[in-house]
Amino acid sequence: MELTTVWFALIAVLWIGYFTLEGFDFGVGMLLPVLAKDEQERRVMINTIGPVWDGNEVWLLVAGGATFAAFPEWYATLFSGFYLPLLLILLALIVRGVAFEYRAKGHYPQWRSRWDAAIVIGSFIPSLLWGVAFANILRGVPIDAQKEYTGGFFNLLNPYGLIGGLTTLLLFLTHGAIYISLKTDGDIRVRARALAVKVGLAAAGVAVVFLLWTQVMTGNVGSAVFFVLAAGSLLAGLYALLRTREGWAFTGTFVCIALAVAGLFVALFPDVMPSSTADAFNLTTTNASSTHYTLKVMTIVAVFFTPIVLCYQAWTYWVFRKRISVHHIPPDRVEAPVG
């Protein structure tokens, strides 16, 4: 197998890891004002992702770095053409990370409510724009013979791209609600489970439209298999949730997102960024890649370090595997703002 194909597959795996893991903590962030009725419940929700959210973002950093090193032409065209949405995503992630750290620094309601709003917005923007971005990559964007993006920001806001964004948004909300029901106990667990069923049904409907549209557009048989399995996993997860089997429900949405992302990469291959201007201008795994020597060195490094990272992250999830509830949270200390 060519190393270009190997690294295309590895980058797909990195994006699968990012969306399946970061997806649920995006969902938790967006649901903060919906499910939590008081400060103690908000702290319970934040504590469910507190030990893992920053580790989940490492998958994005590695995916970006791997793309830069393995497919520099893809990286250059992607970041120049999608500059504004990627900048918005980056700013949202920065604000969200700061909010997690700073909301506990003040002990009056206005301080915390502002940082809570930052968490919600910082989770909503990436959840929507990642779907818009990937849908447009698959659909094809204006690229000229010099491998440069010739469109504008509003070229990305087409019906297919917006459906893709709505799909990731609803899937992450469902994934997050199920994660909350898996990681908490008491009233918040019951509310999260009920909401997950409702949002999950909406996600299933929108996802079917998006995946059918994708299938008609690409006609790729291999991706169709992944999409059918993804839909089945989501429905199986919702069924498990109705039977109060949160662990299996979370597995269902996890596998659904993984298979859907895998299907998108299968539909994309061997292109990495199709051109809507002319097929001759498509960026592929061949004409967008680094040298064979670079890919060989990267492969050796990945073989040694990837298992270490995976083992460490698995250990982190194992350590923080238990449920939490409001009785684990000390009474809130409320202070009036100074000045």
The tokens 């409907």 sit on which residue? 205
Q: Which residues are paired to 143 by β-bridges?
A: 149
Pairing between β-strand 283-284 and β-strand 271-273 as defined by DSSP bridges? antiparallel
State the amino acid at position 267 in one-letter form: A
The CATH number linked to 199 is 1.20.1630
Rounded distance between C-alpha atoms, residue 281 and residue 144, angstroms: 6
pLDDT for residue 332: 62
pLDDT for residue 108: 78
The two tokens of residue 333 are 């200390």
pLDDT for residue 211: 87
Tell me if 337 is assigned to some domain. Answer: no
C-alpha distances (whole Å) from 301 to each of 72, 298, 309, 315 are: 18, 5, 12, 22
Nearest to 36 by CA among 194, 188, 189, 193: 188
pLDDT for residue 1: 63
Rounded distance between C-alpha atoms, residue 246 and residue 27, angstroms: 16
Q: What is the 3-state secondary structure (H, E, C) of 98-109?
A: HHHHHHHHCCCH
Tell me if 64 is assigned to some domain. Answer: yes
Sequential pLDDT tens for the chain (339 residues)? 689 999 999 999 999 999 999 999 999 999 999 998 888 888 889 989 988 888 888 899 999 999 999 999 898 888 888 888 899 999 999 999 999 888 888 777 888 889 999 999 999 999 999 999 999 988 888 888 887 888 777 778 889 999 999 999 999 999 999 999 999 988 899 999 999 999 999 999 999 999 889 888 887 888 889 999 999 999 999 999 999 999 999 999 999 999 999 999 999 988 898 888 888 888 888 888 888 999 999 999 988 888 888 898 889 888 888 888 776 677 665 444 444
Tell me if 13 is assigned to some domain. Answer: no
Residue 275 DSSP label: B
Q: Which residues are paired to 158 by β-bridges?
A: none
pLDDT for residue 193: 92
pTM for this prediction: 0.91
pLDDT for residue 328: 67
pLDDT for residue 277: 84
pLDDT for residue 331: 66
C-alpha distances (whole Å) from 144 to each of 18, 76, 275, 282 are: 30, 13, 8, 9
Tell me if 244 is assigned to some domain. Answer: yes
Tell me if 339 is assigned to some domain. Answer: no
Please provide the size of the chain in residues: 339
| Domain range for 105 | 19-328
- CB neighbours of 279 closer than 8 A, spacing ≥ 6? none
Tell me if 4 is assigned to some domain. Answer: no
Give the 3-state secondary structure of residue 25.
helix
Tell me if 193 is assigned to some domain. Answer: yes
pLDDT for residue 153: 74
**Peptide linkage before 270 cis (omega within 30 of 0):** yes
Total structural domains within the chain: 1
Tell me if 74 is assigned to some domain. Answer: yes
CB 250 within 8 A of CB 263: no
